[in-house]
Structure 1
Amino acid sequence: MDAQQFLAEFGHIANAPGGVARLRELVYQFAVTGRLTLQLEEDGTADVALSNIARIRQGLITEKKFKRSPKLESAPLTPPAIVIPPSWRWSRLLDLGEINPRNQVQTDSESVVMATFVPMAAVSENHSEAIAGVVKPWAEISKGYTHFANGDVLLAKITPCFENGKSAVARGLEFDIGAGSTEFHVFRPISQDINPAYIYLFVRSPLFRAKGEASMTGTAGQKRLPTDYFALCAMPLPPTDEQSRIVAKVDELMALCDQLEAQQQKRRTLQNQLRHATLQAVATSQSPHELQENWQCLEGNFGQLFSTPEDVAAFRGLILDLAVSGNLSDIELRHDSTGTELLETITKQRVAWSKEADDQEKKEAQSMLKKLRTQQFNVPDTKLPEHWIWATFLQISKAIVDCHNKTAPYVASGIHLIRTTDIRNGEMNLANTRKITEETFSYWARRMPPKAGDIFFTREAPMGEAAIVPEGEKVCLGQRTMLIRLFPELFNNRFLLYVIRSPSFQNRMVEAAIGMTVKHLRVGGVEDLVVPVPPKQEQDSIVKIIDALFEVCNRFEKQLSKKQLIAANLVSSAVVALTGIAIEQEEEPMKAPKTELVAPVRLGTPPDVKAQAPLATILARHNGEMSAKDLWQRFGGEIDAFYAQLKIEVAHGWLLEPAPAEMLEK
């Protein structure tokens, strides 16, 4: 290993997005290619180990105690173009032990043999973390599961567990044996010349994993690492004593990586706290002078407070809160008219509309007037400019209409049905909507057909998202969405959209929500939500100011994204230069599926109420289908547990078998 080169690149690697994970990859790669420890003459060569293993293997074969794989044994050893130390030799797991062995347990009728059961969730992605299993009678787990014993190496073979690095050396199994998930590959060394912990380092190294990911087969979230790759992948084998030194050095370096990661996380936590405190100080300023001082503090430390694109979202929230509290208004517009006068004008316009409207619209107008006569609401404590006023959605709207509460019959093409998943961050995404027929639309939208400029508001799953219906698009309300129609000449719909997106409004909305497990708003709860009301001319001015500031945020966000991309590319280049192996980029260092299923998960035969079918239960409450990612997030468990539960419920027919789908690398 070129120490000078590594030290020169260390800072770039460690501080880049996911940099510590890259350092760990480098450590594993250096470990199994002979660049992490010194080679000692007294260690001899790996030929000694290979000779001993061959002798032991032949003896076990003679005694019929070795599980052979004739087809795999005939495959040639094909080492990659990587230079290893002269004392090392290329080998394969197939030649060093047993692949996916079976435990031979002697039992009699008077005794109960116990063993450790290890599900996939009990194996960690972290370095050398002990597996966590439960003790069960061997008779219960000996059939239909993967066998292993103390000293064996376990490797998850299914996506995304393999990509996430789930693997372990079986240690501390009570009664020395175990069984577990059928999604494990197992290697069992047959000689003391092979250190299982070294094999563990190899299967975690880029040398094994990079090509392994490319070798996986299968579709629709069920890709697996083939047994032949696991058994036949060329592995650099050091002498026995050097294996132990390598393992000790890797453990030492991984502990340092843990410390570095903890320091980075602590630094990030402090940065988040400081940013939050600074933004909060600006947002709660009690006077123009205090606002100016706090803003100067924010401006002077901007580079230290905002380092990732995600941080900019908090700044956008500050802009919105300042805007909807009157702190971004144009001074010259502040006293031309008042919010009270605007409400009075809206009331007059609504009365006039109730007299002029026909049929269903007349009913809506009269219903609005009736509700307004009895509506009661609490005014927030937040101080507004003197000429502003607090008002409810009901007071400022021309109409508020709830969705149809039945599941629509979908068609291949037709009118966009806007579900809650189609509304995010103030935008209506029409790319992946469900479609309904003109007949369904006419029936569902008979109360108030949506038109351009209307606001769609979600009251559940998730709550409080909103978007404006775009020009030239015909759309329909999906379940748990509501339509808010304003008098456009009196109230700016984009100002209301910005109010809804502001953190202060979102906090008030959460307080008004009901429900223990899933927070949601009743129709009346939406109508009672309060918003600040400035005069229309001031609304228009505020929208222009927010648009201009958000454009600055967008440019800054792009700069931070570009900075992260450059850092990530630099790290990749450094890793390639140091290891000779290109490693695929990950977008975000988080525990999540490395792949995302494009095809939706759909409800099959509804399970009995007593059945353990959490995924089917969730789907039943959400139109009977959902993307795999959304379903996993609502499931709330680890991703491995989610995939296991998905497999169970598909097998029972509670969920439909997902259609083969393109796998998008994240």
Structure 2
Amino acid sequence: MSAVLTDNLPLLAGAPNGIKKLRELILELAVRGKLVPQDPKDEPASELLKRIAEEKARLVAEGKIKKQKPLTESAEGEKLFGLPEGWSWTSLNEIAAMRGGSTPSMSKSEFWNGDIPWVSPKDMHDGDITDSELKVTQSALNKTNLELVPIGSILLVGRSGILKRKLPAQITAVPCTINQDLKAISPFQPQPSYYVQLMLRGTERFILKEDVKQGTTVQSLVYNKLFVRPFGLPPLAEQHRIVAKVDELMTLCDRLEARHADADSAHTQLVQALLSGLTQTRDAEDFAQSWQRLAEHFHTLFTTESSIDSLKQTLLQLAVMGKLVAQDSSHEPASELLKRIAEEKVRLAAEGKIKKPKPLAQVGADERLREISNGWELVRFGQLIELISGQHLGPDEYFDSPQDGAIPYLTGPAEFGEVHPQPTRFTYERRATSIQGDILLTVKGSGVGKTNFVDQEELAISRQLMAIRPVLLDTQFTRYLLLSMAEHFQSKSIGIAIPGISREDVLDTPIGLPPLQEQNRIVAKVDQLMALCDQLKARLNQARQVHEHLASALVEQAVA
């Protein structure tokens, strides 16, 4: 293995997706002859190819394999790199027999429930193929075009969406049959199967780029291209050394991966424990001590996007708990604000601007999850807002371009921007509309809890959404309240066929209401801290990019 690679293993493994890329690099170095040194005493691959040709001719003469149809030879320009001394260019068509598969009629019981494994793409995994769920009988072999695939054959998925992820190539440890989505590659002796499998995996990115046909629903390998693709063949002795070295290095990758997983898990638990300590503090002194413990290790703790997101969520929780800014006894208490909100809702209902509010039950003792701060009131969210439920529009009721008299129509969070929605449909219908200043809340589907501010004068909303219209509240504080409730809403939506929350789930949620002046101060503090979190994340991404560029440069040097 290149000294450049071994000397910088920690850097490569620590890059984004580093261990995955390291595995790919090991395989690519292997098939380029850069993983183990060449030995001039090894018999050259050209002699191995002669013996393989003799073995192939013998098997054809004895009727043990079919004579293969001639395929168009690959162009010299398709040979991707120079070969080391002793290596030769070859192709799968030259060194292996190819077998296709099929599915015997499922309606004929004589073909099934035998003892010969029948392998399909779902049986493909990371290890050798030792068995399969379905088995066929000897009758299926005798009466259909199924062939028995010998031990040591390499099974390759040729058709399926699985190609979008990787190129599975497993070795079968038992004689088997295969279905039509697989091909069996049986290397001629004395060619070892494990090196041929490694050869396929080491050139996977070229195969998936150049030998795959894109269909409307699935991808498929173009076998005639794959079978004549040039592969570098090392001497037989070097093949064994390469396979042993790859096994050794993959085991090292496994250990690095386990170590990283343990470290990531420990890091996540530590961050969560310290952040939980903040939300569970009893008083200002306790909070100050917990924050100091966190601050001393800030740059060690918040080194991942997920940890910074956890910090953001904790800051929101602290904000709505009254622990982010100090209370001021000179502020008008929230009880007075609550009276004015109730009066305002009665006035708006009398003017026909909102529906007459239904009375909500008082927050019970069993719902008092925590003590509220001085000057705050524990209320139900519905006491503070007007809630508008979205309505479904049929395909004939909306269109894709603006028209006179039409308003934007928002179907769900897929059209949410970072702050404001970005609708792409329009309608004349006004069955459920939101206005500028409302907060949209996703209430159905996988995005339950996501929010956006409405910046259009009028906007029609679908049943995936509800519009929250604050009454005499700071609008940004109301959105922070909603964001802090996201996990609560998601927990309410679990277990339903189409995940979703009801109007009651939103209206009945207990929340702490601070004085209006404190709401303003909370918003200013949260905005400041969220901006700092975003700066921290930006620096993290910059550092990651630098790390990735360094790792990429080392990889280029290693394969050069």
For the aligned pair, the TM-score class normalised by the smaller chain equals 0.7 to 0.9
**Which residue is 2:28 aligned to?**
29
**Which residue is 2:335 aligned to?**
340
The one-letter amino acid paired with 1:419 is T
The one-letter amino acid paired with 1:422 is A
Aligned partners of 1:354 and 1:365 also within 8 Å: yes
Aligned partners of 1:147 and 1:180 also within 8 Å: no
Are 2:438 and 1:454 aligned? yes
Counting only pairs closer than 5 Å after superposition, residues 506-545 of structure 1 correspond to structure 2 as 506-510=486-490, 515-516=495-496, 519-545=499-525
**Which residue is 1:8 aligned to?**
7
Are 2:228 and 1:229 aligned? no
The one-letter amino acid paired with 1:21 is K
| SS of the residue 2:262 aligns to | helix
Tell me how far 1:287 sits from its aligned partner. Answer: 1.5
Deviations, residues 71-110 of structure 1 (Å, cap 9, x unaligned)? 524445556353333222111111111234469x9xxx89
Of residues 260, 263, 266, the one that matches 1:264 is: 260
Counting only pairs closer than 5 Å after superposition, residues 242-261 of structure 1 correspond to structure 2 as 242-261=238-257
The one-letter amino acid paired with 1:337 is E
Distance 1:29 1:466, change over 3 A: closer
Which runs of 5 or more structure 1 residues have no equivalent in the other structure?
Answer: 581-666
Of residues 316, 320, 324, the one that matches 2:316 is: 320
Aligned partners of 1:391 and 1:532 also within 8 Å: yes
Counting only pairs closer than 5 Å after superposition, residues 97-496 of structure 1 correspond to structure 2 as 97-101=96-100, 114-124=115-125, 126=126, 128=127, 130=129, 133-138=132-137, 148-158=149-159, 161-162=162-163, 164-173=165-174, 176-180=175-179, 182=181, 184-189=182-187, 191-205=188-202, 207-210=203-206, 212-220=208-216, 222-332=218-328, 335-357=330-352, 361=353, 364-366=354-356, 368=357, 371-372=358-359, 375-378=361-364, 379-397=367-385, 399-405=386-392, 407-409=394-396, 410-414=398-402, 415-422=407-414, 427-430=419-422, 433=423, 435-438=425-428, 441-442=429-430, 444-445=431-432, 449-462=433-446, 464-472=448-456, 474-487=458-471, 490-496=472-478
Tell me how far 1:308 sits from its aligned partner. Answer: 1.9
The one-letter amino acid paired with 1:401 is I
Deviations, residues 434-461 of structure 1 (Å, cap 9, x unaligned)? 62421xx22x22xxx3111112222221
Distance 1:565 1:350, change over 3 A: same
CA separation in 2, counterparts of 1:44 and 1:512?
69
Distance 1:112 1:529, change over 3 A: closer
| SS of the residue 2:173 aligns to | coil
Deviations, residues 597-625 of structure 1 (Å, cap 9, x unaligned)? xxxxxxxxxxxxxxxxxxxxxxxxxxxxx
Deviations, residues 351-394 of structure 1 (Å, cap 9, x unaligned)? 1122222xxx4xx432x1xx11x535434321221211122222
| SS of the residue 1:577 aligns to | helix
Tell me how far 1:525 sits from its aligned partner. Answer: 2.5
Tell me how far 1:208 sits from its aligned partner. Answer: 4.3
Tell me how far 1:58 sits from its aligned partner. Answer: 2.7
Aligned partners of 1:14 and 1:20 also within 8 Å: yes
Q: Let me know the Cα RMSD of the aligned residues.
A: 3.1
**Which residue is 2:480 aligned to?**
498
CA separation in 2, counterparts of 1:152 and 1:97?
9
| SS of the residue 1:485 aligns to | strand
CA separation in 1, counterparts of 2:218 and 2:444?
32
CA separation in 2, counterparts of 1:144 and 1:339?
81
Distance 1:566 1:121, change over 3 A: farther
CA separation in 2, counterparts of 1:224 and 1:511?
41
Aligned partners of 1:101 and 1:187 also within 8 Å: no
Aligned partners of 1:28 and 1:204 also within 8 Å: yes
CA separation in 1, counterparts of 2:130 and 2:168?
9
Identify the range of structure 1 (78-87 vs 269-278) with the bigger mean alpha-carbon deviation: 78-87
Aligned partners of 2:434 and 2:454 also within 8 Å: no
Identify the range of structure 1 (273-282 vs 306-315) with the bigger mean alpha-carbon deviation: 306-315
The one-letter amino acid paired with 2:552 is S
What TM-score comes out, normalization by structure 1 length? 0.75
Deviations, residues 268-299 of structure 1 (Å, cap 9, x unaligned)? 10000001111111121111111111111111
CA separation in 2, counterparts of 1:150 and 1:335?
84
User: Quick one: percent identity of the two aligned structures?
Assistant: 23
Which runs of 5 or more structure 2 residues have no equivalent in the other structure?
Answer: 105-109
**Which residue is 1:631 aligned to?**
none
| SS of the residue 2:118 aligns to | strand
Count residues with an aligned counterpart: 545
Deviations, residues 498-523 of structure 1 (Å, cap 9, x unaligned)? 11112xx3444456557455553222
Aligned partners of 2:149 and 2:176 also within 8 Å: yes
| SS of the residue 1:134 aligns to | coil
Aligned partners of 2:128 and 2:173 also within 8 Å: no
| SS of the residue 1:328 aligns to | coil
Counting only pairs closer than 5 Å after superposition, residues 565-644 of structure 1 correspond to structure 2 as 565-580=545-560
| SS of the residue 1:343 aligns to | helix
**Which residue is 1:602 aligned to?**
none
What TM-score comes out, normalization by structure 2 length? 0.88
**Which residue is 1:18 aligned to?**
17
